[in-house]
Structure formats: C-alpha cells, structure tokens
Amino acid sequence: MPLPPRFSNQKNLRGPRYSDLSREPLYMLAFLLPMIVFYEVALNSSKAHIQIKAHDHLVKFFELFDMPVTQGLWLGGIAIVTILFIWHVSSGNRWSIRWQIIGGMALESLCFTVPLVLFGAVLGGYAAAASTSPIGSLSLFDKIAVSFGAGLYEELLFRMILIAGIHSVVCNVFKQSNVMGLGIGVFASALLFALYHDLPNAGTLSPIVLFFFFGAGVYLGLLYVIRGFGIAAATHAGYDVIATILLTSATQ
C-alpha cells in the first residue's frame, strides 16, 4: 500500500538517498521481518495469551472469507509481508538491499522513540495505573513479543490502512487537497487509536489516559506520513518494549 502521493519516493541525480530508501517497501520488509517472525513464533508457542487486538481483528477478517485459520497461525505476518511485497513489485524498485540502510532505520527508530518515551513518562504512568492488563506477569520474552505485535499490527491498522483510506476518500471523493486528506487521516486515526485502547470496556479510561493515546497516535501518524510504515512501526514497538518492561517493573 503506497504512501500518499505527496510523500512518494523521489530520486535525485545522485541516486536514492537514505530518506528515500528507508521508505521503500523492500527495505521496510527487511527491517520489520525479524519483528514479524518473533511475534508470530511467540504467539503460537507461548503458553500465555499474548494476542494483540489489532492482530486478532486481522485474523477474523481472513475468517470472513472462509480462509483456513489455525489460531491465526502466521496470517497477520503473512498479511504485512504480502502488502509490502506486492507494493515493491508494483513500484518497480531494485531488489538489492544496502544493509547499512537497515542499521540506519534501527538507529532512527530509536531516536524517534525518545520523545514518545518522554511523553509517556509524563502521562504514561496514568495509563499503566489504569490498565487491568496482566502483562506484568508475562515473561520478558512474551513482553517483547507483545510490544512487537502492537507496533506491527496497530500501525498496520491505524496508520497504513486508516490514513491511506481516509486520505483516498477525502481527496478522491470530496476533492480536497492532499494536505487536507493527510491531516484528517492523521487526526481521525489518532482518535480511533485512543478509543480502541478503551475497549472492550468503553468508558473505563480517564480523559488524561485517552489524551495520552491520542497524542501518541498523532505522533505516530505524522511519523508514518513523513518517514514511512517501517520507522513508525519500529518506534511504536520500541516505546512499548521500554514502557512494558520499565512501567510494569516499577509497579511490582
């Protein structure tokens, strides 16, 4: 699924730059594949229940088409791999990979995680205190797996699918500008992202916790639009790894 036209790859006469290559689907696939494999293996081998709601919804979507599902085995990961693979083939980009770009993407994601961690340090404690999730009882392996799953599948649902879908409707149906489509897409996806974390027991989260998730949604939405799905998903996962380990450890 390509990025909105305004942020499509642009190559100069000197060849593609890091900022362009890191938004190409093949690089995103190579960068995210270890996270995909880690989560899917953990999901289907762990004795604990570590299913991510966004991943669960994706599996149920496949079930609507009578696809064979064995506890969602690999279908979430296959969906991401398929989307990025088809995107790469349709874009006509080269199949070669400069592995230093992958390293740069990891470092960049870590840098973008810092502001989210600082934001979470101010408001995230409220989210941890209000949460009834048993994540604190999980092993370190399962905590990392849950964090990877959230980064991958929540970004797939709320950023790649929602922002692209809303952008398409606003621009193609209502004939609004590209900036308007992206702005509405980022805002709407962030709002739905916050409400999603209040489910299945709607109304249980306080306004400040909802604001935390909304603010994080806006940040990740802008990151997706500007730097692409790979960086946004890794940043989300990086924050969740830190928050899951540090916040749950602090409450024990």
DSSP β-bridge partners for residue 12: 15
Q: Which two tokens stand for residue 237?
A: 């996962």
Q: Which two tokens stand for residue 72?
A: 């969602």
User: For a pLDDT cut of 70, what percent of the chain falls above it?
Assistant: 77
On whether the CB atoms of residues 126 and 40 are closer than 8 A, the answer is no
Tokens 């960049």 belong to residue: 108
Question: Which residue, 79, 31, 26, 84, is CA-closest to 55?
Answer: 79
For residue range 206-227, what is the model confidence (pLDDT) as tens digits? 888 899 999 999 999 999 999 9
For residue range 29-81, what is the model confidence (pLDDT) as tens digits? 999 999 999 998 888 787 666 767 776 666 666 555 555 544 445 778 888 99
CA distances from 137 to 143, 197, 244, 245 (A): 9, 20, 11, 11
Range of the domain at 66: 5-250
Write out the H or E segment, with its range, that includes residue 88.
helix 75-91
Helices (H), 131-228: 140-149, 155, 162-168, 178-196, 207-227
Confidence of residue 1 (pLDDT cuts 50, 70, 90): low
Tokens 């009882």 belong to residue: 137
For residue range 20-33, what is the model confidence (pLDDT) as tens digits? 999 999 999 999 99
Find the mean pLDDT for residues 90-111: 96
Question: Which residue, 64, 241, 35, 43, is CA-closest to 156?
Answer: 35
Counted domains in the chain:
1
Confidence of residue 13 (pLDDT cuts 50, 70, 90): very low
